[in-house]
Structure 1
C-alpha cells in the first residue's frame, strides 16, 4: 500500500525541564531546561506515523534551506520518500516549553510558505501512483497551490482522498472523499457548536463525500449519516498533540483497505485515542507503535465490526518467500491477520540449539513490516493453544504439509467453532533446508581452504 501525503511540514521542538521558582522581574515561572527533543511536525508527523506502520509513504511538502528544514530531513524515518514543493522563507517551527508534564508557553517561528507556482513533474507521478492521498493542511500554502488542487481533483474515483483542513488554509476540493476537521476548526468554519449539525453544514458547504468532526475524548461526528462515533474510555495524558494526525492517517489507511467510511472513522477514533493514551506526539519516537504488543487490539477491532479474524503461526526464524506467500494467502481469507509467533524459548524447545538464529524482537519486526500482517502475538508455550483459546480466530491457517488431525491446536479451534484451513506452500523453500545448505557450503569452504593450504 502506498500513501501519499500532501501538506505542510513543520519542525516540532520540546524543551522540557522543571519549574520551582518565579522570575524576579515578572510573575512567570522559570524553567530549568533539562532536555531538547525534536520531531517531525504537521504533515511530516503524519508521514512518520504512517511509515512507522510499515506503509510506503511519499511526503509532498516544502521546507526552507535552513537548520529547521535540515532537521526535519534528519528526523523523518527512512521509509518516507520526500518530494519537495517550491518554498520561500523559513521553515515553520513550533517550540513547546514544558514543565511538570504541562506546556508553559509555545514559541512559533518561520513564516515560509509554498507559493502558487507549478510544482515539479515528480509530484504528479506520485499522486497518480497512490493507493490513498491525505492532505495535511497547516495553512502554509501546500493545499492552496492551484496546480496541486487541479491534480487532486483529477484523482481516480477508486483512490481515497482525505482532507485534514486548517482555518488559515484552503477549502477542500469537492473531490475529497472525507474531510476531518477537529471540533474547534469545525466551529470556525461553520459557526455551529452542535455536532453532528455542524458536520452536516460543512458537508453541504464543501460538497465532499463526507465530513467527520473529531471531538477528542467524545469521539467523532460523521455527516451525512449523522452518526456519533464514541471513543473508548482510556487512561489518557493531557498532551493531545498529534492526535489529529494519528486520526487522519488511520482513516486514510482504513479507506485504502476498502473499509466503509463509518468503519474507517471508528478505527481512526480508536487509533487516535490510543495514540493520546500512549503519551501523544510528545512521547513518540521513530519505530514506536502505540498499540498493545499481543495483537489483541486488532482482535477487538475486528470483533466490534463483525469481521472475520484469521490467525497463522510459526517460528519464522529465517523469513523467506514461502512464508510471505503463506501469509498473503492467509490474509485474503478474512479482514485481519494475527501471526502467532513462537518466543525464543519456544523455538529452542522445538528446534534445539542453536535455534532461533534470529531473536524474537527482530522476527516480530520483520513480520510487522509485511503488508499482509495486522498484528503479531508472541507466545511462550510450545504450542499456540493457549493463545488461540484467548483470541479465538475464525480461521486458523497452516501450510499444506500439515495434517489437521495431528495438530495439537486442532481441538482448541474446533471447540470454539473455528475453521482450520490448509494453504498450498511454495515449493523449494524451507528454513531447515536453507540452514543445511549453508552448513554444507561452510564445510566445502573449509575443505577448499585445507587443500589450498
Structure 2
C-alpha cells in the first residue's frame, strides 16, 4: 500500500492543536576560522523562516489540500505577526500566550548542522484557552495534537474538550517529553522512542523496548493505540485488541529529519479520517514520512515549487546506503542478478553462496518490462514488487536494485560492487558482466550451479497441475 492510495476523495477539515514556534534556518559556507576564537565563520547565503511546531503540521496539511484550522496561542510581538503572515492558507484561532514568541534558529554549513540558537524557549505558564479555541473541535473531521511542551495541550479546558472530541472523531496525539500525557480515548498516540522512555522509564533498546513501551502506554493512557516510532526503522503499534505490530519504514537516503514526526502524525490523522483502520493508518503515516524525507524534507517543503513527488516502494531498501555502510566499515560488497520469477531451492542456494563471499549482498533484479523482453509476453509470473519483497525476506539478501535494461551493467556502475557472483555451468570469463566489473577493478566469481531446478520447469509443472 502506498501513502498516496489513502488520499481522500474530499477535502478534510482538520484542526491542529498545539504550540507554535518561529523556525529560522540560516545556511551558508565556511572556509575560515574567526581570528577571535577557533570557531568557524559562516558566510550566510540563505535565511529561511517558517512556522514551526504545530504551525509546521498545519502547513503540511494545508499544502496537501485540506481545510486546516490552527488552534494555538501567540504572543503580542512582531515575531507572532511573522508567524501569522507565514500561514496564509491556514485559519488561525488563537489565544494569548502571555510569553514572547519562541524562536529556534539552526545554523547550517552546506548539509551539516553547526549550532541551534533558542530564544524565548523557557517553559511558560499554562495559557488560558478561549471558547473560540475549543469550539473549533466541533466542526472538523480529525484533530492532530502537536504538543511542543509549551502548555496548550496541558490546559484543563482544552483537555476536557479534546476528551469529548476523541469520542466522536479521530484524535492523533504527538507528545513531547516536556508536555502532558494524551487525554484518554485518543485514536493513536505517536511518541518516538525517547519520548516513550520518558513516559515509561522502561529499560531496553530498539524493537524489544518499543514493543513493551507501546503496550504499557496503551494501558496507561487509555489510548486506542500507541505507535512508538523508531526513526528510519519504522514503528511498533500496539492496541488493546490485537497486540503489537511492526510497521517497517521504506528505506530512503535522507539528511535533515526535521518534521518527519510531524509528517507521520499528519498522515495518520488523514488516513483515519479517510476510513482506514489503525494499522493501515500508521502504515500510511510511516510511508508519508519516508516520502517526505525522500523528497528533501522541510527544505523541499518550503521550496517555491514544493517538494518533488517521490514514491518510495514499501519493500525497497536503499542499496546505496547499504553499500556505503559496508564500505565505510572496510567490508566487501557482493552483487548478483536475475529475474527470480519463482523462487526455488536453486535460487536460495545460489544467493546464500553469493552472500558468503562478502559482507552484504545486493540483488540486481530484472524489472517486469525487462523480463518480458527476455522471456516473452507471458512472463513474469510474479510482479517486480512481489519479487522484491520475497528476495528481501531472505536473510542472505541485504538490498535489491530493479533495472529495466536487459543487462544490469548500468545498475552495477551506480554502486560498483567488489564481487559479481553468478550461478551457472560456465566460467567467469564467459559472463558478460566481467568487462563491466573490470572498469573499477571488481572481480567475477561463479558459485555452485544446481541442475534440475528452474523457474521455467516450475511454471510448466504448475500450468499442468492447473
- TM-score of the aligned structures, taking structure 2 as reference length: 0.60
d(CA) in 2 for partners of 1:203 and 1:187?
Answer: 14
State the match for 2:198 in structure 1: 188
The equivalent position to 1:157 in structure 2, one of 159, 163, 167, is 167
Do residues 172 (structure 1) and 182 (structure 2) align?
A: yes
How far apart are 1:71 and its partner, in Å? 1.2
State the match for 2:244 in structure 1: 226
State the match for 1:107 in structure 2: 117
The verdict on how the C-alpha distance between 1:286 and 1:6 changes in structure 2, with shifts beyond 3 A counting, is farther
State the match for 1:381 in structure 2: none
How far apart are 1:291 and its partner, in Å? 5.6
The verdict on how the C-alpha distance between 1:186 and 1:291 changes in structure 2, with shifts beyond 3 A counting, is farther
d(CA) in 1 for partners of 2:183 and 2:69?
Answer: 20
How far apart are 1:191 and its partner, in Å? 2.3
Which secondary structure does the structure 1 equivalent of 2:210 belong to? coil
d(CA) in 2 for partners of 1:125 and 1:51?
Answer: 20
d(CA) in 2 for partners of 1:289 and 1:191?
Answer: 40
| Count of residues in Structure 1 that have an aligned counterpart in Structure 2 | 298
How do 1:54-93 and structure 2 match up within 5 A? 54-76=65-87, 78-93=88-103
Root-mean-square deviation over aligned CA pairs: 2.3
State whether residues 10 and 41 of structure 1, in contact with CA within 8 Å, keep that contact through their aligned partners in structure 2.
yes
Unmatched tracts of structure 2, length 5 or more: 1-11, 317-382, 384-466
d(CA) in 1 for partners of 2:126 and 2:79?
Answer: 22
State whether residues 180 and 212 of structure 1, in contact with CA within 8 Å, keep that contact through their aligned partners in structure 2.
yes
The equivalent position to 1:199 in structure 2, one of 204, 207, 214, is 214
d(CA) in 2 for partners of 1:241 and 1:152?
Answer: 27
The equivalent position to 2:155 in structure 1, one of 127, 136, 145, is 145
State whether residues 54 and 146 of structure 2, in contact with CA within 8 Å, keep that contact through their aligned partners in structure 1.
yes
State the match for 1:277 in structure 2: 294
The verdict on how the C-alpha distance between 1:203 and 1:284 changes in structure 2, with shifts beyond 3 A counting, is same
Do residues 48 (structure 1) and 59 (structure 2) align?
A: yes
State the match for 1:416 in structure 2: none
How far apart are 1:197 and its partner, in Å? 1.6
State the match for 1:448 in structure 2: none
Which secondary structure does the structure 1 equivalent of 2:74 belong to? coil
The verdict on how the C-alpha distance between 1:21 and 1:156 changes in structure 2, with shifts beyond 3 A counting, is closer
The equivalent position to 2:275 in structure 1, one of 258, 266, 270, is 258
- TM-score of the aligned structures, taking structure 1 as reference length: 0.62
Which secondary structure does the structure 1 equivalent of 2:118 belong to? strand
- Name which of structure 1's ranges 23-32 and 210-219 shifts more when overlaid on structure 2: 23-32
State whether residues 260 and 289 of structure 2, in contact with CA within 8 Å, keep that contact through their aligned partners in structure 1.
yes
The equivalent position to 1:19 in structure 2, one of 30, 33, 37, is 30
How far apart are 1:290 and its partner, in Å? 3.9
